[in-house]
Structure 1
Amino acid sequence: MEGEEEDKNLVYFDPPLWRQRRSFVNEVLRESKVTSVVDFGCGEGSLLSFLIQPFEESPITRLAGVDINREIAEQAVENCRPWDHDVEFLRLTPLTVDIYQGSIDIADKRFLGFDALVCMEVVEHVDPPVLDKFFDIVLGTYKPKIVIVTTPNVEFNVYFPQLKYGTPEATLRIEDHRFEWTRKEFQEWGNSGAKKYNYSVEYTGVGKLKYGDPAVGNVTQIAIFRDLNPSSKPLLSSFDTYEHIEKIDFPYYNEPDKSYEEILETIHYYLQFLCNRIIDTTNIKNDQQHEPNRIKIEEIWDIHRIRQLCKTKDKLRDVLRSSSDFTLLNDEEIIVHREYHLDSYDHQEEDYDDYDDDYEYHGGDEILSSPNYNNDDQNWVTTTTNTAITTNGWPDYIGDYDSGWGDEGK
């Protein structure tokens, strides 16, 4: 039957490829403690909007994206604008997002000084004369500390029967692709740039099949370049300019520092709920006793208002140590010596819930509490017909599946 034949051309990935790629990039940037990132070939802003989520440590404060297509770059502007939520629950640090229209084969002086540059699912769309200048621009001139490049692994196309990989009739995953590299070809390209500009390079990938052949590799291959000589001068001394489309400034918490006494007052307000919550004791072992006044510091830190006031978890611990109402058992737990009565505060409990739930939505790329995310979807698939549009990191699906072999959604 026609439907059964169509199903043979579908390859499932869980999590979907767009999430695997963005989460991988996000984690590498987090571990590298970067504060500024360029998205080279930003498209509709899918990665940029994903990176808008605040990091707890060394947060990103500057993002920039450039794309050759002005209309698509303008869409990136819309996808990266603050939501009402960003005004209600202010970020802990400033953030600016600049969107440009331009080609990746020219250098713009405004892109000097960024910590990281990401080029995700872009190089395979670029004509050879433009691609030939990639390393001169990126590694030789912009010289970020870290560069991440992702591109399809053509060897994985063996799992897409309609592409007829390995035959004279073989086609590429996307009509707009100029090429798709084997892992050997990708590594030869990457090694040549790393050697020329004194970068190290390592290779990895995302997207595997549960019962796939390990020898085929991942559906997406990834190169991570790291600058071995940050003090060297840029290659180019003359620059062209991209067209600056718009600068987006995110609102952020910028009130004067509060005294320890003021912070403690806020902590006590929230502890009245934490210490009086109803606990499901069915999972507590018989030899364990529930202690309502034994609180994990992480539970206090998870409250957005507390993060605004303390800025760091170390300061929160210092504030707690300053009060005789608390005993720190270790760096992770406290005993609260005050008793709280909720009778006169019932009407305020909703405020606590709002702070807790809404901050959870903002903090971290794996939490799926956005109203734009349908968590009923269990099976993820790549096809050539569906698209996923993202705004501030969260998908709003047209259709049920990841788009275009996992390529178009980036």
Structure 2
Amino acid sequence: MALEFPPAVVSLSLQNTVASYEQLLQTPSQRDAITTDFEMQVRAFGCELIESAGILLKLPQVAISTAEVLLHRFYYTSSLSKFGIRDIAMGAIFLASKVEECPRRIAQMVLVFHHLVSTRAHGVPPANYKPVDHLSPTWLDYKDGMIAAEINILAKLGFNVQVEHPYGYMINYLQSLGLSDDEEFSQIAWNFLNDSYRTNVSVCYQPWTIACAVIYLVSRIRAIPLPKNPHWYALFDAELEDMENIAGHIMWLYKKAPVRNLPTTVSELKAYLAKDDEIAETNQYGNRVAGNEEEKRGSAPRSPRRDERRRDDDRYRHTRRPEDDNYEDSRRHCDNRDSRRRDDRDDNRRDHARRRSPSRRDGRR
């Protein structure tokens, strides 16, 4: 007699991969002397390129969001100084379109990103933009960079490109809280959720926590009370500290002034950072024009000791307030005081030598 077993139901659910504490503490880009603020601005710019390209390519929102998550995951394993944001953004959306089963042609990707990079990063007016020629050196550079970026993303992430998004959680939570009929509340929450992908919260928290944070943020902005006994977010396995942190990351996007002409390739990034270093050196040492003229004439470079004296002088100068009317008088007073001290030391030496001169005449040693 054959045994009969009831049909088995298998449910497979994979949680999103989150960054470790060591990765959050110091990213590969920060180890290459790139500041945290600048890295987050470049990441946000890459996500902006992905969103604009997704709209032009008519990709679904889930594919656009998946590409943004893949971009953030990749830069927790690699540095901006080795992989440009343009190529990684192209590779991420090219790979995400395949993952979400809505692939686009390579030629379409190249044309769209060339238009976006030219108009938004390089400042070309849309009226003066000229599409890139097919199979031209620029076209091949974009294509090769995108394919290489897709391979690097798969290799660095270990082919783990599964992404669970918070959209479904947010819809269910709004229905549970009785807010799904409020169209304005739902629309603002949806906008905040889309904007959250420009930050790194998608690789720091699970999707249900992000959904709760968006609802929490909208409720605070619109002053809509939510259940407190018990707290509504406790029923959805979220914590208040995590929601406040996510809300702060989202609001950072609106408080931070946008930076124009950000570098999109590795060579542009090196030139950008070198220019920043030159500006910082100019602010520290003062006018650099004279130094450049000396270098052109073949003069010897400044000695470290001279730079140290200049730094000491600048440090003394910056301790005084520029708006102080007596600044110059105070500086002259300090110079006169030092001069008087030198004169006093010279007088003491002469007096000491005068007192010792009779003893020499007497023959005493």
Which protein shows a greater Rg? 2
TM-score (norm 2): 0.27
TM-score (norm 1): 0.25
In terms of fraction of residues, the more strand-rich structure is 1
In terms of fraction of residues, the more helix-rich structure is 2
**Which structure's relative contact order is higher, taking Cα pairs within 8 Å and 6+ residues apart?**
1
